[in-house]
A and B are shown apart, each in its own frame.
Chain A
């Protein structure tokens, strides 16, 4: 028997719609879901490698309990019953000694997040946190400070834009299929691309204008652009008058930031800045200054992200076709979203969070996500209180939080570490128990509320039965809750039960998803009236250049520009990091096909710097920071600024069971210092300096 299952990919967190062809119970091919406009069968390389994840013999196949020292690699296989009993007993003893708050749960936001949040509420812990802040916490805060919405609530109309401006947003490598497809088509129809990055990526090679900016000076560029746009009256005056508060304050603030000043700072000529500002002004409001994807580079990250959003506001491009839009939910058409387990009556925890988010110490980051990189210090200093257990669900503190040695030291203080994962991640290897989750092809998941111009809902549907002794996440959490005596908050046995319960208020049923993989609440794009109807959620109901959120917390809306930190020694380079199209963060380096394409991460170093150091292309080198020293290979290139060096994130795995990726390349997190944007909440991943020397 053959059938096509419409589902959702999960090789990365984008969750593109896919179609799995199943023959005699086996998945034989995956393509993009042909029913979804803008996808039309297409996939990225990671999505195309899905079957090699499914059939991988180097993934976790059964629950495992640690026997030797942590990280020593001595394990025994366990039944689910035994593993659950082991965890429940230890969690109970941690909770009875230190309270529910001594348990932290870290995960990458996903469709099951409402379930783990419910678990944490049920044990009376405030310490559910996600990976989000590590990626883009400051962007989230920046978006809220200006519009009242978070970044996932704002979309980009790639298909109709006339000009896309990217600040290091390497969209053709760190790719989302639909935007890539839509914007490729837009470029074919004449849309322009401006790309700004100290490193020339593939995206740079597709741009009409490429600026190899000095690293860390994007904010200087933006202050100057705002200076030009205001001085030359290039902004959308009617839109600004209607929808912006604090314009006059901004105008006065950017007055001294001339293009000539910014030219010296950024390395971009004043004439080019003026030409660019004039060009985008002609194209407004069909202009998008992309606010970014991973936004965790510098200590003033929130202010760079705010400046990008303010440029959009000046172009009148927020809630404009060809610009950006506020995503519309089912409520816009009088319909209801799927409910979540967190909608239930749950215990309300009175404790503050481990990361102090929401307290005067750290008022602005989103408490829905917390700030993950505060975890090591919170554990080590027992500040604000002791943390004794960590549940890591698709989240790897060892490779995602800067300063791995320090993170490992913190983990050593914990009484219990449990990892729920598909792969042998580095944190799985350092855990006490590993619980193997079924892959996205082997499980159903909670519905995905896909808000946008046309609100829709997607469903991950199970394509094949589990190949190994693995379980879907929602069932794993339910099993654990049951052992902890908390079953009442988890009213389901199987994921399908859960989905049925979640769909009840929507009027849709599971079978409605069978034909196309999604259901639509409406078939018409919803744009709010640009003259009267944009519902900004700030206190003023407008875009707040002068932000109540920031000012009320005691932070300025427009801080004076500060030049990026210089290296401590002249022979050091700023370390910058990024992604390639063939890998997702830290999770695909061991995939058979993706590993074959990109198996390690060389260090990009400019030709000029390499010549000075006597380093040639492909030469083994030693890279060292204050935190770590490791061997890599040099990629000598003219396509990076001489002040910085670059490495791909996600390599340097230390798990022998994941043999293809074991000890290949280096992990950026090992070199980095754990520095945070204290206002916005992101880490500053580009604030570490390294030395490079040939390996002798």
Chain B
């Protein structure tokens, strides 16, 4: 994996897709490719409450990326310094082999350039000390990006609070 981890706290996610739009806008992409995608599951009834689940799907930046292995031209590369996988548009010939190879559908087709585009964790933004675009714009702050030790213990803290809160509940 890359040295980074992107954590999606789906309890706070509202499925608005600001992340998805900011991602497309950053790469100035046409209609078609979605380097990151937000999938909404549901709603379904859980008792009297309609529940929804959200899955954010950027590139997972695999440790042993099949897209890189499959790429015949060397356009698809793993950055040695941080493990982020990028595609060099000057070398990509648009053969789509990476699109077939990736189990997650991460490499996307750009019909305007005839080449592949993908989530590159906004490495140019990271180099400037910024967060990836999807994380920056998220209105509920449900996306966290950093090295694994920087990711807050949102879920365990929430669980702990819920236990204590339940104990105090009057009803």
Contact = CB atoms under 8 A, between A and B. Distances in A.
Contact of A45 (B16, B49, B140, B171): B16
B119 to A, nearest CB: 16
B25 A593 contact: yes
A231 B15 CA distance: 41
A288 interface: no
Given A48-B21, A172-B16, A207 B171 contact: no
Nearest to B14: A172
Interface string A19-63: 000000000011110000000111111011111100000000000
A594 interface: yes
Contacts of A202: 14-15, 52
B15 A188 contact: no
A18 to B, nearest CB: 10
B129 interface: no
A597 B49 CA distance: 26
Contacts of B16: 44-45, 172-173, 175, 581-582
Nearest to A206: B14
Interface in B1-39: 12, 14-18, 20-22, 24-26, 28, 30-31
A205 B12 contact: no
B31 A592 contact: yes
A43 B18 contact: yes
A639 interface: yes
A452 B165 CA distance: 32
Contacts of B159: none
A48 B25 contact: yes
Contact of A190 (B15, B45, B52, B165): B165
B20 A597 contact: yes
B39 to A, nearest CB: 13
A210 to B, nearest CB: 5
A190 B161 contact: yes
Given A45-B16, A210-B50, A581-B14, A31 B42 contact: no
Contacts of A571: none
B25 A29 contact: yes
Interface string A442-463: 0000000000000000000000
Nearest to A189: B161
B137 interface: yes
A188 B50 contact: no
A694 B24 CA distance: 37
Interface in B155-171: 158, 161, 165, 170-171
Given A29-B26, A48-B21, A593-B25, A204 B171 contact: no
A48 B141 contact: no
A663 interface: no
Contacts of B171: 275, 278-279
A26 to B, nearest CB: 10
Nearest to A39: B139
A593 B137 contact: no
Interface stretch (A177-185, A240-248, A404-412, A501-509): A177-185
A282 B12 CA distance: 26
Nearest to B34: A596
A45 B45 CA distance: 27
B136 interface: yes
A596 B14 CA distance: 19
A638 interface: yes
Contacts of B136: 31-32, 41-42
B17 A42 contact: no
Interface in B115-139: 131, 133, 136-139
A180 B31 contact: no
Contact of B137 (A42, A188, A200): A42
A190 B48 CA distance: 20
A444 to B, nearest CB: 23
Nearest to B24: A593
Contacts of A594: 21
Interface residues of A, number: 48
Interface residues of B, number: 37
A52 B50 contact: no
Contacts of A31: 22, 133, 136-137
B4 to A, nearest CB: 18
Given A52-B25, A205-B42, A639 B50 contact: yes
A200 B50 contact: yes
A581 B28 CA distance: 21
A674 B6 CA distance: 50
B48 A210 contact: yes
B43 interface: yes
Interface in A184-239: 184-185, 188, 190, 200, 202-208, 210
Contacts of A582: 16-17
B51 interface: yes
Nearest to A187: B12
A596 B50 CA distance: 26
Nearest to B52: A205
B141 A181 contact: yes
A51 B137 contact: no
Given A190-B165, A581-B15, A597 B139 contact: no
B131 to A, nearest CB: 8
A180 B139 CA distance: 7
A135 B26 CA distance: 34
Given A177-B139, A210-B50, A282-B170, A205 B21 contact: no
Interface in A277-320: 278-279, 282
Interface string B70-109: 0000000000000000000000000000000000000000
Contact of A184 (B28, B52, B141): B141
A50 B50 CA distance: 32
Interface in A504-547: none
Contact of A188 (B17, B20, B131, B158): B158
B18 A48 contact: yes
Contact of B51 (A52, A203, A205): A205
Contacts of A40: 141
Contacts of B140: 180-181, 184
Nearest to B51: A205
A29 B146 CA distance: 21
Contacts of A639: 43, 50
A207 to B, nearest CB: 7
Contacts of B131: 41
A188 B12 contact: yes
Name the residue in A50, A206, A638, A639 with the highest tally of chain B Cβ atoms < 10 Å from its Cβ. Answer: A206
A48 B133 CA distance: 10
Interface string A595-607: 0110000000000
A158 B95 CA distance: 51
Contact of B14 (A180, A282, A593): A180
Nearest to A49: B21
Contact of B139 (A43, A205, A282): A43
B50 to A, nearest CB: 4
Nearest to A31: B136
B139 A42 contact: yes
A49 B15 CA distance: 16
Interface of A: 29-32, 40-45, 47-52, 172-173, 175, 177, 180-181, 184-185, 188, 190, 200, 202-208, 210, 275, 278-279, 282, 581-582, 592-594, 596-597, 638-639
Given A41-B131, A173-B14, A208-B49, 14 more contacts: A40-B141, A42-B136, A42-B137, A43-B139, A45-B17, A172-B14, A202-B52, A206-B14, A210-B50, A275-B171, A592-B30, A593-B21, A596-B31, A597-B21
7 contacts: A29-B25, A41-B136, A48-B18, A48-B21, A200-B43, A210-B50, A593-B24
Q: Report the 4 A-B pairs with minimum CB-CB distance, sorted nearest first.
A: A48-B21, A581-B16, A200-B50, A172-B14
